[in-house]
Amino acid sequence: MSTHPEFTFFSRFVADIQAGRKTITIRDESEANWQPGQRLALFTNPEHQPFGTMEVLSVKAVAFEDLNDEHARQENMTLPELKAVIRAIYPELPPLYVIEFKLLA
């Protein structure tokens, strides 16, 4: 059992995270209180299956309109796909944060 705080990703993103194709996640402020160097235990959402540990590299505020092709590349999506996913998860478009991470195990 991990002693690290838990962090979840939708199951559809697990393969991309494990393959190193997804290296950031964009979240609202309720999930942005992490610090660089912090390690988080990863679980699927909604199944709550463990799938690894990540280290937070950085947490930076980003405006929805400032999302760009580099963010999309780090999410392993096109920019239109990324914006559509964010709008689906956060329809009100609250303040957003880019969490850059490295998969450890």
Residue 93's pLDDT is 93
Residue type, 85: V
For the question of whether the overall pTM of this predicted structure is more than 0.75, the answer is yes
CA distance linking residue 12 with residue 56, whole number of Å: 21
> Burial code of 35-61, b = ≥16 C-beta within 10 A, e = fewer?
eeebbbbbbbeeeeeebbbbbbeebee
Of the residues 3, 75, 78, 102, only one is catalytic, namely 75
Catalytic choice (6, 8, 22, 65): 22
- State pLDDT tens for residues 30-57: 999 999 999 999 999 999 999 999 999 9
Q: Does the annotation mark 65 as catalytic?
A: no
Active site residue 75: yes
How much of the chain, in percent, has pLDDT values that exceed 90? 96
The reply to whether 3 belongs to the active site is: no
Active-site entry in 6, 25, 29, 83: 25
